[in-house]
Amino acid sequence: MEKYKIIGSHPLSGEIKVSGAKNAALKILAASVLSKDTCQINNIPQIEDIKRMTEILESLGAKLLWHDSTLTIDPSGITKSIPDQQLIKKLRSSIVLAGPLLARFGEVTMSHPGGCIIGKRPIDLFLSGFKALGAEIFDHGESFTLKAKKLTGAKIVLPKVSVTVTESLMMTACLAQGTTTIINSAMEPEIPALAQYLNKCGAKITGAGTPQIIIEGVDGLSAGIYELMPDRIEACSFVMMGLATGSKIKVTDCRPEHLETVLAILKNAGADLEIGPDYITTKTSYLRGTEIQTHEYPGFPTDLQAPFTVLMTQANGRSLIHETIFDGRLFYTDKLNAMGADIIMCDPHRVIVSGKTKLNGKKLESPDLRAGMALIIAGLCAEGETTIDNIYQIERGYENIVPRLRAIGAKIEKIKD
């Protein structure tokens, strides 16, 4: 078993480059199934979730070729629509393959997806959307089958905003006959990025990035070359890392326009930031406690809630953190309390953080991807040695995190028991 060992209380300095967006990459890899043509995706992060998705594509018959951060996918060899069930169970995002496989083959059988477990994440919204497009649903307990002789465009009103549901239905509707309208669609930047890729391949999608998306079905899609956007969650995690450790670091190759709400909240909390067209520089700041409530884009992202909570342990005064998206996503805070933080859980969705507190190194275990990054930030702030187990969860979403952090002065290394 490997783990991270961190010696904290060392200032960071220098530049750290943001990798390609994990959540955009996974959906564009799934979209490659819609065509038989070869596509080339640049700036793909080599992380564990991407490895799991590429394993699933290869198990279906696709041929993949890596060259640095460029991935070439030849999906012409895909002749079946039943992905390896054990691989599906390793990746929560594998659910986004259901729609493209259904659209291409008229049938798909999948296990219920696995991966990072944060509260309940049912797939009923996916299934009701596929049903609206003309699919029959057969539930087998641990798996399900979708069948459709012909997918037909429909008006789909989502009862709640969901990024992956919006993306899945958008991909599926590309090959449906007629017009599909998705109302109450998610607006995260990854959605117009996916629409841009699909439109380059011949799809007819308008409204991506707004609450209403319209898809005119086409007979088929081609493929081509696409440059993946930078990861906004990684970018702001690094910004919060710089602020929490009182360091001057420059986060490069990012898109600050994707983070305007978060950056405004950080500035209101006292963060001294220099924001350029494609970079954000942190400076030593006097931070004040503040209140946040996670919300769908353009609100405060749930994936940045844990790093922000760590940051607030280093701010003066009280902060209220209200997690509205996922159940159980605040349970990592007991690990911060073990390090010396003063955090009171009001209920499963709200905590009060009192700062500024001195953190001390501890032996910890990463409960999930984003809380794992938060624990790294806490370890870098803490006095003494911190070790973090279950680092697979962190490496699901952060590419080569140890050498990249070491390059800006972090005392972190990967060790074996």
Residues with catalytic annotation? 116
For residue 302, the one-letter residue type is: T
Q: What stretch of H or E contains 395?
A: helix 392-395
CA-based nearest residue to 39, from 48, 50, 47, 28 = 28
Residue type present at position 183: I
Cα angle 395, 397, 401; round to 5: 55
Beta partners for 143?
Answer: 111
Q: How many CA atoms lie within 13 A of 54 on its CB side?
A: 20
C-beta separation of 281 from 254 below 8 A: no
109 has which bridge partners? 145
Rounded CA-CA distance 138/306 in Å is 38
222 burial (CB, 10 Å; 0-12 / 13-18 / 19+) is middle
Q: Show the tokens assigned to 102.
A: 């259904």
Buried b (16+ CB within 10 A) or exposed e, 226-263: bebbbbbbbbbbbbbbbbbbbbbbbbbbbbbebbeebb
**Amino acid (one-letter) located at 148:** A
Position 177: which residue type?
Q
Q: What is the enclosing helix (H) or strand (E) of 136?
A: strand 136-139
HSE toward the beta carbon, residue 173, CA cutoff 13 A: 29
Which amino acid is present at 109? T
Residue 38 and residue 386 in contact, taking contact as beta carbons nearer than 8 Å: no
